[in-house]
């Protein structure tokens, strides 16, 4: 499906166009046309996972329930940060896109890991964080797709546990690391010291 506005991120539209739950075309649209702006920086998704619950057509119980009158709302939760689809608990239809890695537009610095992405966006924010449409960046999603990470097995009827709903931007190479600058505080010397952390792009 083609994203022309955030309103296109409706679960009914997504399921209609994602033949056999193939979300790769939508993943490319999101990586090329969706960004997060926090008043200071603009962030582009480079690793994402899809979470969709539809009681009739896609009852994936790994999805955090949420309400979102309009698509494009940011939903912060214990596992990270989602860009929401239009979601209604009463309609039994909700979900979103978990951000697993981001690239900051201004300096091309990358951030890996769902909680790290959430912290980066929130800790540098100088206004309410917004999901916006951006110019088409001309990137592709990687040819291979992967299982989502860290899911709890819900039992023998859990048919979505191993669903391949995780996508990378093509230039984020599988098996490599995203290195991130950080600081730690030395309580003896009472100074901040730089350190590096990493996020491996892995299956």
Residue 98 maps to a domain: yes
- Tell me how long the chain is: 203
Q: Model-level pTM greater than 0.75?
A: yes
88: DSSP letter = B
Which band of pLDDT confidence, cut at 50, 70 and 90, is reported for residue 203? low
Residue 203 maps to a domain: no
Residue 156 maps to a domain: yes
Residue 149 maps to a domain: yes
Considering only CA atoms, give the Rg of the chain.
17
The CATH code of the domain that includes 117 is 3.10.300
pLDDT in tens, 137-193: 888 888 889 999 999 998 878 999 999 999 999 888 767 778 877 666 767 776 776
Residue 120 maps to a domain: yes
Residue 179 maps to a domain: no
Q: How far apart are CA 201 and CA 101, in angstroms?
A: 9
Residue 187 maps to a domain: no
pLDDT in tens, 46-105: 999 999 999 999 999 999 999 999 999 999 999 999 999 999 999 999 999 999 999 999
Residue 194 maps to a domain: no
The per-residue pLDDT for 127 is 95
pLDDT in tens, 117-137: 999 999 999 999 999 999 888
Tell how far CA 97 is from the center of its chain: 5
3-state secondary structure of 100: strand
The per-residue pLDDT for 186 is 67
What is the extent of the structural domain holding 59? 6-172
Q: Look at the chain and report how many structural domains it folds into.
A: 1
**Cβ distance 21 to 59 under 8 Å?**
no
């Amino acid at each position: 499906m083609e994203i022309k506005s955030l309103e296109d991120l409706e679960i009914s539209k997504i399921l209609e166009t994602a033949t056999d739950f193939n979300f790769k075309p939508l993943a490319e649209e999101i990586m090329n046309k969706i960004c997060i702006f926090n008043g200071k920086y603009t962030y582009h998704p480079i690793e994402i996972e899809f979470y969709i619950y539809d009681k009739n057509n896609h009852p994936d119980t790994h999805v955090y329930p949420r309400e979102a009158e309009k698509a494009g709302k940011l939903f912060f939760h214990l596992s990270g940060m989602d860009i929401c689809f239009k979601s209604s608990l009463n309609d039994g239809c909700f979900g979103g896109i978990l951000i697993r890695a981001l690239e900051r537009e201004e300096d091309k610095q990358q951030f890996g890991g769902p909680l790290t992405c959430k912290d980066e966006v929130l800790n540098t924010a100088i206004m309410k964080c917004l999901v916006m449409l951006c110019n088409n960046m001309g990137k592709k999603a990687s040819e291979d797709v992967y299982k989502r990470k860290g899911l709890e097995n819900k039992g023998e009827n859990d048919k979505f546990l191993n669903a391949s709903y995780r996508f990378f931007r093509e230039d984020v190479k599988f098996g490599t690391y995203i290195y991130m600058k950080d600081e730690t505080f030395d309580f003896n010397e009472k100074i901040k010291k730089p350190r590096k952390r990493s996020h491996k792009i892995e299956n």
